């Protein structure tokens, strides 16, 4: 009788543990929690599945690797194509077959084998001083290296993921030699040593340190919505580069299902929800990002900047050249 009761109790405990595990999903995120929590809360409200998040600016890929099969992480969220490709190459992801994800996300914003998917997209804009730059002078990334821009350009570190992706896109569309000449030209035109984040480049234009910069589009939306920083953003004109040829470079914030995912089913439900109309509208309105789901409208603010021709080069092609791009930054001494 005692043994039977004990077995019954163990079964209840086991069932209870399974129920707890089945009601959650664990996310390792390079994206700040404040940017994704509203979408996670909406998902939990609809499904009852709790989303647990671990945020870090760096080290999450290494953490996944060290944890191996014992990792509690179901998903990893990134702010760039780079870490997505890294976790794939390190065999830290697994393929997802989902008709929902395939329908909601254009092919250029997802891995062809289903190992990673874009959540939102952003344009790599050129911004120029309204007072000091004639926008007819600059219409492409190549123009950043033109003699007319000497002493006028500022950028963040060339080793930052956003800059590496842009350089890699130039390599993809041309060749290494051409891209190296271009980057060397940009270096010659720098008004100061590369430093700061994207917002800092706009602030530098406002203060007169430089006249032209490259930034991710959503930062401009954030600044225009900020009482202090709106003055910086209102000091620049927006230029969508390369409208006469390949189009403006695009990157993504993305997600991948981890190889060890203990809550795989719940994780895929979250992935699908985040590409739905509801979640994509929230991304657009709250963060001023471009939805990856083409059926979802842009925010009113972003829409006011106008339509543009995006570079539709698949991000897997850009990812192939990231290592070369990063090495190129060192070779030309871009940081100094």
- Which residues in the chain are classed under CATH 3.40.190.10? 24-121+251-303, 123-249+311-331
| Alpha-carbon gap, residue 96 to 271, rounded angstroms | 10
**The dihedral formed by the CA atoms of 225, 228, 232 and 235, expressed in degrees to the nearest 10:** 80
Confidence grade of residue 18 (pLDDT, cut at 50, 70, 90): very low
Structural contact between residues 294 and 307, judged by C-beta atoms closer than 8 angstroms: no
With a cut of 80, say whether residue 254 has pLDDT above it: yes
Question: Which of 154, 163, 146 shows the shortest CA–CA distance to 129?
Answer: 154
CA 24 – CA 13 distance, rounded (Å): 17
Does residue 13 surpass a pLDDT of 50? no
Q: Is the per-residue pLDDT at 5 higher than 70?
A: no
Report strand pairing: 212-216 vs 117-129. antiparallel
Q: Which CATH class is domain 123-249+311-331?
A: alpha beta
CATH superfamily of 24-121+251-303: Periplasmic binding protein-like II (3.40.190.10)
Q: What is the mean pLDDT of residues 59-88?
A: 94
Instruction: List strand residue ranges (DSSP E) for the chain, in order.
Output: 24-29, 50-55, 75-78, 117-129, 153-154, 212-216, 236-239, 250-257, 290-291
Position 22 scores a pLDDT of 56
pTM reported for the whole predicted model:
0.89
What is the per-residue pLDDT for 2? 36
Tell me how far apart the alpha carbons of residues 325 and 198 are, in angstroms, rounded to a whole number: 19
pLDDT beyond 70 at 82 = yes
The residues, any chain, with a CB within 8 Å of residue 197's CB and separated by 6 or more, are 156, 219
């Amino acid at each position: 009788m005692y043994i039977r009761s004990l077995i019954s109790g163990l079964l209840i405990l086991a069932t209870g543990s399974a129920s707890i595990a089945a009601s959650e999903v664990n996310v390792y995120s390079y994206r700040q929690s404040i940017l994704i929590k509203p979408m996670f809360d909406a998902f939990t409200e609809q499904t009852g599945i709790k989303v647990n998040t671990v945020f870090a600016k760096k080290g999450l890929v290494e953490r996944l690797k060290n944890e191996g099969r014992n990792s509690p992480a179901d998903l990893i969220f990134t702010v760039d194509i780079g870490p997505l490709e890294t976790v794939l190459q390190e065999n830290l992801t697994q393929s997802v077959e989902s008709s929902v994800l395939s329908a909601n996300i254009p092919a250029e914003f997802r891995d062809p084998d289903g190992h990673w998917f874009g959540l939102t997209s952003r344009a790599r804009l050129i911004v120029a001083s309204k007072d000091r730059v004639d926008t007819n002078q600059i219409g492409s990334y190549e123009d950043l290296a033109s003699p007319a821009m000497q002493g006028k350009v500022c950028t963040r570190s060339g080793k930052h993921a956003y800059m590496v992706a842009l350089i890699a896109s130039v390599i993809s569309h041309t060749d290494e030699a051409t891209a190296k000449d271009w980057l060397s030209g940009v270096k010659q035109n720098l008004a100061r040593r590369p430093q700061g984040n994207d917002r800092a480049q706009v602030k530098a234009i406002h203060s007169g340190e430089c006249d032209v910069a490259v930034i991710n589009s959503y930062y401009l939306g954030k600044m225009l919505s900020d009482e202090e920083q709106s003055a910086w953003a209102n000091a620049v004109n927006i230029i969508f580069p390369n409208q006469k040829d390949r189009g403006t470079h695009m990157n993504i914030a993305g997600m991948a299902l981890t190889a060890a995912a203990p809550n795989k089913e719940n994780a895929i439900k979250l992935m699908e929800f985040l590409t739905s109309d509801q979640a994509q509208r929230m991304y657009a309105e709250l963060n001023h990002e471009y939805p990856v789901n083409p059926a979802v409208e842009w925010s009113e603010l972003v829409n006011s900047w106008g339509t543009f021709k995006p570079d539709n080069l698949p991000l897997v092609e850009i990812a192939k050249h990231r290592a070369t791009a990063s090495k190129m930054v060192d070779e030309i001494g871009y940081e100094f």
